[in-house]
Structures are given as structure tokens and as C-alpha cells.
Amino acid sequence: MTVLYDANCPLCAHVREWLGRQPQLVPLDFVPAASPEARRRYPDLDHAATLKEITVIGDGGQVYRATAAWIVCLWALAEHRPRAHWLATPAGAPFARVSVLAAAKYRALTAAPCDDACELPAPPGGGRPD
């Protein structure tokens, strides 16, 4: 699986390093989002969107974004696969969503300068989170 991440975001780089240190059941390949390498590998992908949220490309070409991408990353890790299974259930889904929203908010607050890549995802009911 290929994980596209914002190499200019300290939080994204930290998470990328953490994921890379974990024992992996499915190998994770990290590529900076919107980089020449990402554009070469995935010419049909919306590369501007990959800077706004974590994006994972499965070995079969599946595209996972935001919460689903984070769950797939955890699923690839030996020690976190059971947690990924739980986060994908109706009981765990709210926790996964809150985690992704918290990361987006942290990213938006710490980004300097902040551009449209720092936009927070809209909450389920629409509008912007506070």
C-alpha cells in the first residue's frame, strides 16, 4: 500500500515516521503527496486533494481517504490490526472520525502559513467544526 502524506506538515511527517517504525503485516510505502513521484505513479488522482487529507492507495488500486485511510494504515500494522477492525465497526466509527477531525484541527492550528490545504473536513451534519 502507498501512503500519500503532506511532507511539509510536521504532524503528517511525525505520523509517517511512527507508521514506518511499526511492525507491518502489509508493507507501507510512503510517498510525499502531490510530489513528482506521486504524480508519476497515480496520474489520474486528484493530487490537490491528497494534500488536504491522508490518502492511501491499495495494491489493487483502491483509494482510501481521511478516516478510511487511517483505518487502513492501522490495519496494515501487526499490533494495531485488532483496533482497526474495531474502528471500522459502527461502535468504533465515531472514535475514528473524532481522531481524524482532531488531527485536522491540530494541523490547521499549527500550519504556518496556512493555505487551503489546512481546511478542516466538514462534520457529518455540514458546516464547519468549532
What is the helix, strand, coil percentage profile of the chain, to 5?
A: 50, 10, 40
Cα–Cα distance between 104 and 110 in angstroms, integer?
10
Beta carbons within 8 Å of 114's beta carbon, 6+ residues apart: 108
Query: How do the pLDDT tens digits run along the chain, 130 residues long?
Result: 999 999 998 888 989 999 999 999 999 999 999 999 999 999 999 999 998 888 999 999 999 998 999 999 999 999 999 999 998 999 988 888 887 777 777 777 776 544 444 443 444 444 433 4
Residue 109: strand, helix, or coil? helix
